Structure 1
């Protein structure tokens, strides 16, 4: 069974993380499925990429069972975490607009997947937060880099440092998502967004993405990654 279900809905290629029993947490099978989703968008009639989750969770973040199990193999653990980081950066560089259809809880790496998308729409029941500190971790897939661009530095620090969770309404009011819709209208709403994009000139859309996406300095990505690497290495070795 695949952990990511890829389906075509009109002009959009949807990826649905399908690990509802694990909160749709990102393990290596999910990362592989999302990599395949990005690589598979070769049909010229596909004009939008959409990411969502199964059940009541969008994505709970990196799979703690898998990462904890790799503490005895530090190179493998860092390779897994780096794979997620590279996925986020690939999403931000996609030639097609990316949409997060946030159907439920988005925490940690799930927030980072949301932030990687050009547009995020949240169902009314969605709950969103960073939550890395709640499990003794720090970000590595971009939330310290991308969150300030979405909500501003002050609110970003608040979300990162307090570990609080925002409602869909709060997330929209603070600019983390573009809007909210009733849970049972989320898919239809995103279908309409995809149709609107598909009605536009595709070359112009690609060029618009180049200038509309905020530019992030490589140094910011590297500072986050170096911090995560040092933190995880200390946890694995017991040496600060």
Structure 2
């Protein structure tokens, strides 16, 4: 069974990451499920894509067990990391609006999936943070590119460098999520929001996405990838500095 459950709710196609025992970590099988979710936007009846998680996590990050198991196979590890980066960029370029229904913890790669979406609504118990530095890692799926666009350079640097986490309320105050609702109301609230968006003129919505989405640059993405490649290579040998 796929660890991503796809559900059609009227004009919205929901993807629910269902690996609660692993914090909904994003491994290759989750990426495959999310790629299928994105492909669903080709259906003209799908006007909105919604991403959420099962249990207490939205997504706790990339699947470190899978990534660590690839350390001895650099090409395979690079392919895994590149696939995640490509997935985030594909979400950002989706043909229809995307909503993150942040039901719980969103750390590392989970934060990057949140950042990829056009709108993020958080449950009151949700917690968010980059957290790469806390694990001795650096971002690879876009935190360094997208976080400053979402919350400003100063707040982004603090979150990236300290590894601290924000409550849902702090994330809303910083502009990382648009609003916070009670846990029990999250699904219904996002479903209503998706319905409101779906009722709008689809051609106008597509054009609005073109001007409303924050602009990033290939250079910024390349800098993040180069830094990650350097960090991964350094982990494979003793540091000399």
TM-score under structure 2 length normalisation: 0.98
Q: Indicate the RMSD between aligned Cα atoms, in angstroms.
A: 0.9
- For residue 236 of structure 1, report the CA deviation from its aligned partner: 2.4
The gaps in structure 1 that reach 5 residues or longer are none
Which residue is 1:155 aligned to?
155
Question: Across the two proteins, how many residue pairs are aligned to each other?
Answer: 240
Which residue is 2:94 aligned to?
94
Give 1:43-62 correspondences, 5 Å limit: 43-62=43-62
- For residue 39 of structure 1, report the CA deviation from its aligned partner: 1.1
Q: Secondary structure at the match of 2:13?
A: strand
Q: Secondary structure at the match of 2:122?
A: strand
TM-score under structure 1 length normalisation: 0.98
Q: Distance in 1 between matches of 2:135 and 2:239?
A: 19
Q: Distance in 2 between matches of 1:238 and 1:79?
A: 24
Q: Distance in 1 between matches of 2:96 and 2:230?
A: 34
Q: Secondary structure at the match of 2:16?
A: strand
Q: Distance in 2 between matches of 1:112 and 1:238?
A: 29
Give 1:1-240 correspondences, 5 Å limit: 1-238=1-238
* Structure 1 residue ranges, 4+ long, deviating more than 6 angstroms after superposition: none
The gaps in structure 2 that reach 5 residues or longer are none
Q: Secondary structure at the match of 1:220?
A: helix
Alpha carbons 1:74, 1:236 under 8 Å: kept:
no
Q: Secondary structure at the match of 1:223?
A: helix
Question: For each residue in 1:159-217, what CA deviation from the matched residue of structure 2 results, as whole angstroms up to 9, or x when unmatched?
Answer: 00010010000000010000000000000110111111111000000000000001111
Q: Distance in 2 between matches of 1:43 and 1:85?
A: 24
